[in-house]
Amino acid sequence: MTFAQLPALEVVVPLVAAPLTLLLRRATPAWAIATAACAFSFVAALLLAADVAARGPISYALGSWAPPWGIEYRVDALSAFVLVLVSGIAAAVAPFAWKSVAAELPRDQAYLFYTMYCLCVAGLLGMTITGDAFNLFVFMEIASLSSYVLIALGRDRRALLASYQYLILGTIGATFFVIGVGLLYLMTGTLNLADMAARLPQVHGARPVLAALAFITVGVSLKLALFPLHLWLPNAYTYAPSAVTAFLAATATKVSVYVLLRFYFSVFGPRLVVEELPMPEILLALSIIAIVTASLVALWQADLKRLFAYSSVAQIGYITLGISMASRDGLTAAIVHLFNHGVTKGALFLLVGGIALRAGRAGFDRVRGLARAMPLTSMGIVIAGLSLIGVPGTAGFISKWYLVLGAIEAGRWWLAALVVATSLIAVAYVWRFVESAYLSAPAAATPKPGEPPALMLVPAWLLVAACVWFGLETSFTVEGARRAAALLLGAAP
Amino acid sequence: MIAAGHYGYWITVVLMVTGLYIVIARCNLVKKMVGLSIFQTSVYLLYIAPGKLVGGTAPIIAEGFRLYSNPLPHVLILTAIVVGVATLALGLAIVVRIREAYGSIEEDEILESDRARGDGGGDGA
């Protein structure tokens, strides 16, 4: 039955699509293949998620080499959840990319965009699905290298510098990660994550294990843009092509969060990370700084893309805040927010991409009075913005709700208050858009007014609808996250 | 004795820190790539050195082969070398494009040139 091969196909289809798009050398067929591959991955991820929910984790031995010797693909409650997010966003951004890429990239380079896009999707899906530490590193580099290229494709020359800086920091991050994996391999003699987790208690507390934890924490934190290591993110998101910003903002950092969760809870185990080491305190402090400072910095940005990039740093802070609680509600909040924020930011950056297409760029000077020329786009940004704030009835509310629950459960009322208070900063920066788009007179010369093409507007609005849908109907997100959180905490030795 | 016996690790650590220092301290974008390469290379050594046993052979099940070296780290590092080469190639390609766009590969000059132009592309920093 081909269904048994789904875990491999999930990654292989976009991976094979990449060289195909390269061989075609024409933008339109390349786009069609990339879109089809992403849609296939999304359907496969949904089937896998349904299968995991019904029958428990799937273990797939690549090339029929049984784990721990061969590479294992492992789909459990957490990875299935992240797979759905990544492939779903990929499937939404791919149709959007056609017009957007045609407008922002030179014609002869457009097909290369889809090659890199497919590689990036394959890399991120591979990072999520694999159960092998070194395989994870290889996929991480596939995803990273392709995302450096994607960012460098931006029109502005500063995109090149942003890409270079991301390349340096990303490579340092990935190398730190592989140093940590190497130390773990030296101590346990295995690269299979489950096998590693089973053997680590034998060398509990050994110094190389602690060093490995430190290296992996710093390496992955660079990738997920945890507060002091986020410096690559604002420039990369601002100058990258719109479709790239939307895709990376919604998925890349989220997959890194997944890797961190996987190593903290499934490999090292909460006993070492949470009880014996002060990791929760460190994460808590960094998350709070990230939330407060990045939200405040976002307030002063003159460009919508840059504003939402800083808001991403803050929102990642909420996710790591949930992780730092290391309780069931805290982890549920982190995982739900990982999903909800991915959907929300994906929607926002797609809509901002529409503005960039019609108005040249997405500076606030171009947004003035935009609501009249682009009512659907403006309304979409407002709705997704409400989700970013966490207004009841939107996806963002669900994550903030569980975050507050987790804080109260831990007896930290001040933290609950802080989560609510910092949401007010989000109100302020979303209000800046409302004021500019709805309440200001249009700028004298707005080039090419009007909505972006349907192929760009429809995917964006699908994600906006998802923001509302997941705020009302939480059976998939909250139940999925609860199962994943239980899995992470239950896997403790 | 123990410190001397672990000289492989000491070399690894020295290379690692040297590479990282170059990445941080140098303004020249090509030199940064050199540092990054040295940094990545140190990791190859971290993997390979412990895999080798003095007098160990390839893992062949036959008469006369008793002490085996672990071949897996070598295979892993082959992959890591490919990744390292790809990173270096991509990094240098981006540096070439930066040179075309800015006419310089010194980080401070590039940042200065952006600041001087200040074309309001939304850079609030």
Tens of pLDDT along A177-235? 999 999 999 999 899 999 999 999 888 888 889 999 999 999 999 999 988 898 999 99
Question: What residue numbers bound the domain in which A430 lies?
Answer: 281-493
Q: What is the mean pLDDT of residues A242-253?
A: 93
Collapse the DSSP code of B106 into the 3-class scheme (helix H, G, I; strand E, B; otherwise coil) and give the result: strand
ipTM of the complex: 0.90
Of B79, B90, B95, the CB nearest to A148: B90
Q: What is the mean pLDDT of residues A62-66?
A: 86
Residue A394 clears pLDDT 50, i.e. is over it:
yes
Question: What residues contact A335, with CB distance under 8 A and at least 6 apart?
Answer: A78, A81, A261, A322, A480, A481, A484, A485
Two tokens at A396?
A: 């963002």
Residue B4 clears pLDDT 90, i.e. is over it:
no
Residue B96 clears pLDDT 90, i.e. is over it:
yes
The predicted model scores a pTM of 0.93
Q: Is A78 part of a structural domain of the chain?
A: no
Topology (CATH level 3) of domain B2-117: Helix Hairpins (1.10.287)
Q: Is A63 part of a structural domain of the chain?
A: no
Taking only residues 363 to 392 of chain A, the set having a beta carbon closer than 8 angstroms to any beta carbon of chain B reads 363
Residue A361 clears pLDDT 80, i.e. is over it:
no
Average pLDDT of chain A is 90
Q: Are A303 and B83 a contacting pair at CB < 8 A?
A: no
CA dist A212 → A185, A354, B10, B98 (Å): 10, 44, 17, 36
Q: Give residue B88's identity as a one-letter amino acid code.
A: L
Q: Is A488 part of a structural domain of the chain?
A: yes
Instruction: Return the pLDDT at B120.
Output: 46
CA distance B120 to chain A (A): 9
Q: Is A59 part of a structural domain of the chain?
A: no
Q: What is the mean pLDDT of residues A67-79?
A: 89
Q: Is A384 part of a structural domain of the chain?
A: yes
Residue A443 clears pLDDT 70, i.e. is over it:
no
Tens of pLDDT along A297-308? 999 888 899 999
Two tokens at A479?
A: 């139940």
Q: Is A174 part of a structural domain of the chain?
A: no
User: Rounded to 10 degrees, what is the CA torsion of B84, B85, B86, B88?
Assistant: 90
Residue B121: which pLDDT band, with cuts at 50, 70 and 90? very low
First to last CA, chain A: 35
Domain boundaries, chain B: 2-117
Average pLDDT of chain B is 86
What chain B residue is nearest to A301 in terms of C-alpha separation?
B124
CA distance A32 to chain B (A): 27
Q: What is the mean pLDDT of residues A275-297?
A: 91
Give dist(CA A15, CA A13) in Å, integer.
5
Residue B125 clears pLDDT 70, i.e. is over it:
no
Output DSSP code: residue A441: P
What chain B residue is nearest to A166 in terms of C-alpha separation?
B91
Give dist(CA B38, CA A100) in Å, integer.
39
Query: How many domains does one find in chain A?
Result: 1
Instruction: Return the pLDDT at A445.
Output: 58
Q: How many CB pairs under 8 A join A and B?
A: 97
Q: Are A182 and B46 a contacting pair at CB < 8 A?
A: yes
Q: Is A225 part of a structural domain of the chain?
A: no
Query: DSSP letter string over A95-156?
Result: HHHHHHHHHHS-GGGHHHHHHHHHHHHHHHHHHHHB-BHHHHHHHHHHHHHHHHHHHHTSSS
Of A164, A182, A304, the CB nearest to B43: A182
Whether the CB-CB separation of A386 and A394 falls below 8 Å is answered with yes
